[in-house]
Amino acid sequence: MNAADDQAVDVRAPSATRLLASLGIEIDPELLVLALTHRSFAHEAGGIPTNERLEFLGDAVLGVVVTEHLYRAHPDLSEGDLAKMRAATVSQRALAATARGIDLGEYLLLGKGETGTGGRDKDSILSDTLEAVIGAVYLCHGLELTRAMVQRLVGPTLQAAADLGAGLDWKTSVQELAANRGLGAPVYDVSGTGPDHERSFTARLLLGDVAWGEGEGSSKKIAEQNAAEQAYRALAAERD
């Protein structure tokens, strides 16, 4: 039995019972193994299939479910507001938080290198794997049961998105506020430090020559959003 077989048996065994209980649905064992197989493990195991095709499918299913929910739940909101709410719900950070809530990282099939650099808690890997799991559930059960599972998993995020207002997309919100005040378009000055597997980024938001906000994060996108939030609050406080 090779390494891939060993790992697959582990996922099929009672160790996966808690994960399936968290999902609230059964998944074909082979599809579950595939959904949890990161490309780093697949490469080390001799080029076995990865979860990337399931991730592609799950991303589309997730988008449909979340979009339909928002459309029906918020009949008075504009297309722009709905798009912001959807983006906040299916963002990498939001999906990774949902994945952590069901301890998905514990079940990932990762290569040794990725495991050694903290891959089980990386936002990108967790969010992609959650989408792959959604894809696997869709193949097993179709749209209706998948919709029910997705709504259970992301329900808290959907509710939070309804209450976020400007926080749905700080970068867009601060851009609109700056434009309304005639301050021009925000420019982000971003720098990174640390090794490739553990980079940390700092972003400053500039309007003209004035820095209005600064933020940090594990990616450029997160650092820029944090800088935008600080700038938005500073601009709003000055306006008020």
Query: Pick from 109, 144, 167: which residue ends a domain?
Result: 167
**128 annotated to a ligand binding site:** yes
Beta bridge partners of 193: 200
Tell me, yes or no, whether 134 and 183 share the same domain. no
Return the SS3 of 190: strand
Q: Note the pTM of the prediction, 2 decimals.
A: 0.72
Instruction: Give exposure, 183-214, as e/b (b: 16+ Cβ within 10 Å).
Output: beebebeeeeeeeeeeeebbbbbbbeeebbbe
Tell me, yes or no, whether 81 and 140 share the same domain. yes
Tell me, yes or no, whether 160 and 199 share the same domain. no
**68 annotated to a ligand binding site:** no
Options 5, 26, 44, 59, the catalytic residue: 59
Average pLDDT of span 205-220: 92
pLDDT tens, residue by residue, 123-152 = 899 999 999 999 999 999 999 999 999 999
**176 annotated to a ligand binding site:** no
Options 81, 114, 121, 131, the catalytic residue: 131
Query: Pick from 167, 185, 205: which residue ends a domain?
Result: 167
Please confirm, yes or no, whether 144 is among the known catalytic residues. Answer: no
Find the domain containing 82 and state its range.
14-167
Q: How many other C-beta atoms can be found within 10 angstroms of the C-beta atom of residue 230? A: 19
pLDDT tens, residue by residue, 72-103 = 999 998 888 888 888 888 888 889 999 999 99
Number of residues that make up the chain: 240
Which of 98, 110, 128, 81 shows the shortest CA–CA distance to 23?
A: 98
For residue 1, pLDDT beyond 50: no
Return the SS3 of 220: helix
Contacts of 195 (CB under 8 A, 6+ apart): none
pLDDT tens, residue by residue, 158-202 = 887 766 565 667 888 888 889 988 999 999 999 999 887 678 999
Please confirm, yes or no, whether 238 is among the known catalytic residues. Answer: no
